[in-house]
Amino acid sequence: MDLRTDIGKILLKNPVMVASGTFGYGVEFEGFFDLGLLGGISVKGLHLNKRQGNAPQRIMETPCGMLNAIGLQGIGIEAFSREKMPVLRKYDVPIIVNFWGTSTEEYEKAVEKLNDVEGIAGLEVNVSCPNIKEGGMTFGTDPKVLSQLIRSIRKKTALPLMVKLSPNVTSVGEMGHIVESEGVDSISLINTFAAMMIDVETRKPVLSNGVGGLSGPGIRPIAVKMVWEVAQRVKIPVIGMGGIMNARDALEFMIAGASAVQIGTANFVNPRISLEVIEGIKDYCLNHEIEDVKSLIGSLKMP
Ligand SMILES: Cc1cc2nc3c(=O)[nH]c(=O)nc-3n(C[C@H](O)[C@H](O)[C@H](O)COP(=O)(O)O)c2cc1C
């Protein structure tokens, strides 16, 4: 049975990756299993510089997932390159660096620095962050801003480029089409949904930031639909995520059109979940006499 798949120029030994912000810089999970068994690792979103993130409370459980406003805390590109990359390079697993900025210039500078870091398989652009120059509106929610940003980044790097789409838009398919036209190699989706919880006793938001991002199994059917929509619109590979808790969930995304999946919130419940998902996909293929996992991609039978 062939579990290999590819996301543009990056070959994965299986379709299961871990999602940015839910698996640290990878090295924190070394004690749980051999990281080389994963299809890929997307590391916590990096900024040019070290970032503090928001004050607590910045995470809260919801009935079917979690709400977070970590505020993109991170060690910065230089520390990542110096402290984490030497460890990650020991493993036979593609390292995808998720990164962000508050202006186009910051994104460009980040890319220039990342170009020089040895061992990076590809970049994942997080566009779900506030554009300070445009009054705090997120880059990923305005078609013009998004296409200009991706054009600038594309010019700066020859590394495989993945753009991670925000679900907080009217037409995610349109956003997918826009980034494909700017020459990116693949598209990942979805990032978290803008959301809020209120403590009725204090009448204050539960999170110190006021609003946060919703993730976990509660968002999965919307994520599957969005992945399906984008996969219809683009020719480049799509990487699906949003609430994957087991192999069947992952298979839904592949059948909807994803070439690979990322597991996020589930890592907080079970740090070895991705291995269980890989095994579950293998079992499904065996039971359904599927020799090549790629044959599942976009195999949805619409009524
Ligand atoms: C605590 C936390 C931190 C996250 N940090 C990032 C990040 O730094 N960059 C990014 O692109 N997405 C980040 N995400 C979004 C996830 O990678 C993923 O897109 C989202 O949570 C949906 O998948 P899930 O439901 O499986 O968690 C974060 C999510 C969580 C829960």
Q: How large is the average pLDDT for residues 142-160?
A: 97
Does residue 164 have its Cβ closer than 6 Å to ligand 1? yes
Contacts of 277 (CB under 8 A, 6+ apart): 16, 244, 246, 247, 250, 261, 263
Q: Is 21 in the pocket of ligand 1 (CB under 6 A)?
A: yes
Ligand 1 atom nearest 128 alpha carbon: 11
* Active-site residue, selected from the candidate residues 19, 114, 129, 219: 129
**The pLDDT of residue 130 is above 90:** no
Tell me how far the alpha carbon of residue 240 lies from the centroid of ligand 1, in angstroms.
12
Averaged pLDDT for residues 122-142: 89
- Residue identifier of the C-alpha nearest atom 8 of ligand 1: 45
| pLDDT of 285 | 98
230, 171 in Cβ contact below 8 A?
Answer: no
The SS3 assignment for 138 reads strand
Compute the average pLDDT of residues 252-256. 99
Mean pLDDT of the chain: 97
Task: Indicate if the alpha-carbon torsion angle 280, 283, 285, 287 is positive or negative.
Answer: negative
At 36-49, the pLDDT tens digits run 999 999 999 999 99
Per the CB < 8 A criterion, the answer to whether 186 and 238 are in contact is: yes
Question: What atom of ligand 1 comes closest to residue 243's alpha carbon?
Answer: 25
Residue 140 CB less than 6 A away from ligand 1: no
CA of 127 relative to ligand 1 center, distance in Å: 12
Q: pTM of the predicted model, to two decimals?
A: 0.98
User: Could you give the C-alpha distances from 246 to 30, 62, 240, 251, 253, in angstroms and in order?
Assistant: 21, 19, 14, 9, 12
Atom of ligand 1 nearest to the CA of 124: 11
**Dist CA 155 CA 132 (whole Å):** 22
- Helices (H) and strands (E) counted in the chain, each on its own, are 9, 18
User: Which DSSP symbol is given to 235?
Assistant: S
Give yes or no for a contact between 117 and 76, defined as CB atoms under 8 angstroms apart: no
* Arithmetic mean of pLDDT, 19-35: 97
pLDDT tens-digit readout, 34-93:
999 999 999 999 999 999 999 999 999 999 999 999 999 999 999 999 999 999 999 999
Asked if residue 72 has its Cβ within 6 Å of ligand 1, the reply is yes
Is residue 134's pLDDT more than 80? no
Q: Distance (Å, rounded) from C-alpha 44 to C-alpha 24?
A: 5
Is the pLDDT at 170 greater than 90, yes or no?
Answer: yes
Q: Which pLDDT tens digit goes with each residue over 260-287?
A: 999 999 999 999 999 999 999 999 999 9
pLDDT (average), residues 213-226: 98
pLDDT above 90 for 131: no
| C-alpha–C-alpha distance, residues 51 and 30, integer Å | 24
- For the chain, domains (ranges, CATH) are 5-296 (3.20.20.70)
Tell me: pLDDT of 135 over 80. no
Atom of ligand 1 nearest to the CA of 19: 17
Secondary structure of residue 20 in the 3-state scheme: coil
Is 129 one of the annotated active-site residues of the chain?
Answer: yes
